[in-house]
Amino acid sequence: KLARHKKIDFNGYYFADADVRINNKERVGMVMKEVWDVTGYRFTVHDHRSMKTGNKTRAHCCQDQEKTKALKPSPGPNVKHRGYAAMERFACKGTLTVCSRWPSAYAERQRVSIRMKHEKKHQAYYSVALPPEALWIIEENVERSTPTELVGRIQALYRNLTSAQVHRAWTEKSQVLWERRADQLPSARALLAECGDEVDVLDTVMEEGVEQLCWAYKKLAKDLKKDEFTKEIAMDATYRTNSKHLKLYAIIAEVDGAGVPIGYCLLSTASALNPGKRKRALLRWATALQEHYDLDSAFVHPNQDVAEIGMVRDWWPLAKIQICWWH
């Protein structure tokens, strides 16, 4: 009958044999679970009311858009936000009331009444969490597949999952491959130390309140050093992608029409008070690259960042600065 109507308005009751092992409140909970299973709708409890002869529970549809609470993401540095999509909402004004009580003082059977209303029928509730099977696929392929490669495979099996869910799960499962310490900078430094044949960790003198870690790819940078001159260099940084307020800066050189990553810098100046702190930190990074690999360029492409532009003017005073067109 539910399938043939646009609205749902059900009101009924039945009698259940008394069971000393189940009180009225527990019976109400069992009935609500059965309603969820039969209808496909899921409800959030509004309140439990104790009566002289029993219990009554009122609930609203968890997909009712009028009952949706505003999201208040925490700004804390170590907060892990949920890695799944939000449930779709509807203007259904759905409610469910279940009551279990004794009709009289001498009754041997409990009277269970159910009242369910939905002003608008809608898609049944489904879990937006990653199923165990999807997590298993990610765990089995975390070392040999990127999250982008896994998205299509997993969505073919679970159409409701989003690419963001897969990416977050892959990130969490892959931590065992790259996390070495609880704190991010010591962890990154320890991981880079394991890759000594491939990277150079550049020593820089840090001022108070500045956190910085710089490194370069040995082979790529040395190959560029063999050339007399690198014509173009681009710079850019991530924006608000890290819970520790660390930005990841990159210097990329143009070689035969392709971008070649030369050096990286993890930097946070959130705790520093001195003006010009970020420009000086970037300049120390650029100076270390210059000392190691004699990196020079005729054109430099930073984004529209005052610290980056100021650093380039001090580092390569003769280079032409061209602002990134997108920025």
Q: Do 277 and 165 share a structural domain?
A: no
- Domain end position, chosen among 118, 140, 165: 118
Whole-angstrom Cα distance, residue 172 to residue 272? 31
Look at 60 and 229; give whichever has higher pLDDT: 60
- Triad 295, 296, 299: Cα angle to 5°: 135
Residue 213 is predicted with a pLDDT of 96
Number of domains in the chain: 3
Top-confidence range, 81-90, 212-221, 229-238 = 212-221
Does 145 map to a domain?
A: yes
Q: Do 168 and 189 share a structural domain?
A: no
| Amino acid at residue number 127 | S
DSSP run (H or E) holding 265? strand 258-268
Does 123 map to a domain?
A: no
Does 233 map to a domain?
A: yes
Q: Do 114 and 38 share a structural domain?
A: yes
Please give the residue range of the domain that contains residue 292.
Answer: 184-321
Whole-angstrom Cα distance, residue 92 to residue 74? 30
- Domain end position, chosen among 118, 153, 168: 118
Confidence of residue 225 (pLDDT cuts 50, 70, 90): low
Residue 290 is predicted with a pLDDT of 86
Structure tokens, 61? 């549809």
Residue 96 is predicted with a pLDDT of 94
- Domain end position, chosen among 72, 96, 118: 118
Mind listing the pLDDT tens digit for each residue in 7-37? 889 999 999 887 878 888 889 999 998 998 8
Residue 168: is its pLDDT beyond 80? yes
Does 125 map to a domain?
A: no
Confidence of residue 327 (pLDDT cuts 50, 70, 90): low
Does 124 map to a domain?
A: no
Residue 75: is its pLDDT beyond 80? no
Residue 1: is its pLDDT beyond 50? no
The model's pTM is 0.60
Q: Do 314 and 198 share a structural domain?
A: yes
Whole-angstrom Cα distance, residue 186 to residue 175? 15
Whole-angstrom Cα distance, residue 60 to residue 68? 11
Report yes or no: 302 and 258 within 8 Å, Cβ to Cβ.
no
Mind listing the pLDDT tens digit for each residue in 243-272? 778 999 999 988 888 888 999 999 999 888
Q: Do 188 and 291 share a structural domain?
A: yes
Distant-in-sequence, close-in-space partners of 261: CB < 8 Å, separation ≥ 6 = 217, 220, 250, 251, 252
Does 281 map to a domain?
A: yes
Instruction: Give the torsion sign (CA, 178, 181, 187, 191).
Output: negative
Look at 121 and 264; give whichever has higher pLDDT: 264
Give the SS3 label for residue 200. strand
Q: Do 104 and 14 share a structural domain?
A: yes
Least confident range of 64-73, 101-110, 185-194? 64-73
Confidence of residue 114 (pLDDT cuts 50, 70, 90): very high
Q: Do 161 and 113 share a structural domain?
A: no
Q: Do 200 and 170 share a structural domain?
A: no
Does 203 map to a domain?
A: yes
Q: Do 214 and 166 share a structural domain?
A: no
Does 309 map to a domain?
A: yes
Q: Do 286 and 192 share a structural domain?
A: yes
- Strand ranges for 119-187 from DSSP E: none
Mean pLDDT calculated for residue range 71-99: 69
Residue 79: is its pLDDT beyond 60? no
Residue 90: is its pLDDT beyond 90? no
Residue 226 is predicted with a pLDDT of 58
